């Protein structure tokens, strides 16, 4: 990333992405938010964040994304939210190395915001507990609480009601099509399934059929996502993560995943990554 020169005394944090292994829309709240059920897993695809506390009270993003104004950046918004909630007068300098693709359904922006909340809670010595951080996180985005939760989870509500779930180690081949899917457009689509049957806590080992209720709408509306889906369909049963655009295949072994990655990566923006049982922040 251009201008990525974090201060030597800045604290460094790894920021993992996520996949939705299952995503169902079971209803809608009175305020318009959709009620979801999803299985989340962390994956070994990382952004990196450096934070240096300052005493001048400024929250400074030194590596803003080209298309995002600094005040709209989720890292900045997370720091501002934490400061306003606690009343601290401390500031922070932020450097972000963005490797998780934007608009891919991998939760990169939410993951960044979660790490800023967790890290500044520690660096600013605010002593908020995880439940308090989760309540702040949901104000920034529905995926943020999962990253604060920090482990594989079965999510309900709008994504903020989280229960731990045990998942076997998996490897994933992910293709990011050259398109940005509009989440509001998909949620508003007339053909979107909104009445999937709620479930009790799923058992991953039971071999249930996993699905994504947004997938059929996205494949119909975005030919580039359909093309990527069809590429992976030659090797198994792919799924889309979140509202897209990334599609992925899961494998029980690294060698099997690597073999498919080698076949698709020459023509597509692709990743071969393992699942991650626990967020690096909690290691």
Q: What percent of the chain has pLDDT over 70?
A: 92
3 found inside a domain: no
Range of the domain at 106: 11-282
Question: Is-catalytic flag, 143?
Answer: yes
Categorize the per-residue pLDDT at 206 as very low, low, confident or very high, splitting at 50, 70 and 90.
very low
Between CA 247 and CA 219 the distance in angstroms is 10
Please count the structural domains in the chain: 1
Q: Pick the catalytic residue: 18, 22, 73, 93?
A: 18
155 found inside a domain: yes
4 found inside a domain: no
* pLDDT of 195 over the 90 cut: no
Between CA 98 and CA 154 the distance in angstroms is 27
Query: Binding site, residues?
Result: 101-111
pLDDT at 34: 76
Query: Scanning the structure block, which residue is given the tokens 């994956």?
Result: 43
How much is the average pLDDT of 67-86?
Answer: 87
The CATH number covering residue 53 comes to: 3.30.230.10
Q: Pick the catalytic residue: 47, 112, 143, 213?
A: 143
Between CA 250 and CA 90 the distance in angstroms is 44
Categorize the per-residue pLDDT at 18 as very low, low, confident or very high, splitting at 50, 70 and 90.
very high
pLDDT at 276: 98
* pLDDT of 37 over the 80 cut: yes
**Cβ-contact 46, 112 below 8 angstroms:** no
- Strand ranges for 29-164 from DSSP E: 34-54, 59-61, 91-97, 153-156, 161-164
* pLDDT of 175 over the 90 cut: yes
42 found inside a domain: yes
How much is the average pLDDT of 149-177?
Answer: 93
The whole-model pTM stands at 0.93
Q: What is the mean pLDDT of the chain?
A: 91
Bridge partner list, 242: none
Between CA 271 and CA 251 the distance in angstroms is 13
2 found inside a domain: no
1 found inside a domain: no
- How long a stretch of residues is the chain? 283
Query: Binding site for ATP, residues?
Result: 101-111
**Cβ-contact 210, 167 below 8 angstroms:** no
Between CA 12 and CA 93 the distance in angstroms is 12
260 found inside a domain: yes
How much is the average pLDDT of 239-258?
Answer: 96
Between CA 81 and CA 117 the distance in angstroms is 9
131 found inside a domain: yes
pLDDT at 3: 64
């Amino acid at each position: 990333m251009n201008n990525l020169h974090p201060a030597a005394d800045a604290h460094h944090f790894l920021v993992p992405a996520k996949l939705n292994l299952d995503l169902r829309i079971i209803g809608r709240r009175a305020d318009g938010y959709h009620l979801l059920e999803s299985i989340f897993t962390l994956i070994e695809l990382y952004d990196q964040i450096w934070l240096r506390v300052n005493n001048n009270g400024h929250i400074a993003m030194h590596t803003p994304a080209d298309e995002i104004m600094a005040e709209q950046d989720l890292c900045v918004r997370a720091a501002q939210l934490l400061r306003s909630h606690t009343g601290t007068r401390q500031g922070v300098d932020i450097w972000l190395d963005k490797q998780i693709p934007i608009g891919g359904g991998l939760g990169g922006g939410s993951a960044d915001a979660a790490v800023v909340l967790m890290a500044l809670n520690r660096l600013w010595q605010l002593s908020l507990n995880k439940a308090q951080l989760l309540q702040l996180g949901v104000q920034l985005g529905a995926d943020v609480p999962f990253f604060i939760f920090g482990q594989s989870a079965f999510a309900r509500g709008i994504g903020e009601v989280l229960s731990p779930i045990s998942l076997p180690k998996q490897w994933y081949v992910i293709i990011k099509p050259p398109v940005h899917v509009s989440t509001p457009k998909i949620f508003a689509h007339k053909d979107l399934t909104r009445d999937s049957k709620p479930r009790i806590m799923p058992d991953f080992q039971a071999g249930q059929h996993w699905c994504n209720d947004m997938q059929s709408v996205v494949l119909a509306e975005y030919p580039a996502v359909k093309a990527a889906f069809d590429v992976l369909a030659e090797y198994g049963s792919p799924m889309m993560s979140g509202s897209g655009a990334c599609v992925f295949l899961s494998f029980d072994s690294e060698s099997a995943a690597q073999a498919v990655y080698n076949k698709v990566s020459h023509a597509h923006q692709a990743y071969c990554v393992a699942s991650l049982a626990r967020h690096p922040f909690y290691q």
